[in-house]
Amino acid sequence: MKVIASPIPEVLILEPNVFGDDRGFFFESFNQARFDAAVGRSVVFLQDNHSRSEKNVVRGLHYQIQQPQGKLVRVTEGEVFDVAVDLRKSSATFGQWYGTVLSAENKKQLWIPEGFGHGFAVLSDSAEFLYKTTDYWMPEHERCIAWNDAALAIQWPLSGEAILSTKDACGAAFITAEIFS
């Protein structure tokens, strides 16, 4: 596994070693010891999630203000633009975002630690998105920041109008959102 740094030091791109031939391919999608070494600490994942979305669907920017979740995300079908936003007030990168393309083809994963908002936009006709979380989903602690908040100025590479859930359409402004200390 190749570990690629992002401009936000704690957010990492993980690129697997893929072994392919005329029959197809094989790669190790997760190895606890290698993952812990890459992030520099022991991480325990408690929940796996799987979603499917159509082109131009935007999900996020989501986080849990209590029982925050670290997320290891990847795409098994299609392509998304995946975004992490630093919501830790004490961080040197507070309010900064990082985005990258994750796809079934590139097989990359993104590690988004606790204290970050997360979202993605579907770039292909559809996409299947899998992610591991370090804590359970707690709807009473879930928060959402507007995906298109001007203060964040995320450059979403959409090819049409964003398709949002009711919750995501009502996301809070970054300036008024609950954040981490």
Q: Exactly one of 63, 118, 131, 141 is catalytic; which is it?
A: 131
Residue pLDDT, tens place only, 146-162:
999 999 999 999 999 99
Residue pLDDT, tens place only, 4-56:
999 999 999 999 988 989 998 998 899 999 999 999 999 999 999 999 999 99
Angle subtended at Cα 174 by Cα 47 and Cα 45, rounded to the nearest 5 degrees: 15
Q: Exactly one of 50, 62, 136, 141 is catalytic; which is it?
A: 62
Instruction: Round to whole Å and give the CA distance between 82 and 98.
Output: 8
Q: Is 98 a catalytic residue?
A: no
Q: Is 62 a catalytic residue?
A: yes
Domain covering 2-176, topology:
Jelly Rolls (2.60.120)
Residue pLDDT, tens place only, 56-114:
999 999 999 999 999 999 999 999 999 999 999 999 999 999 999 999 999 999 999 99
Residue 2: CB atoms within 10 Å:
10
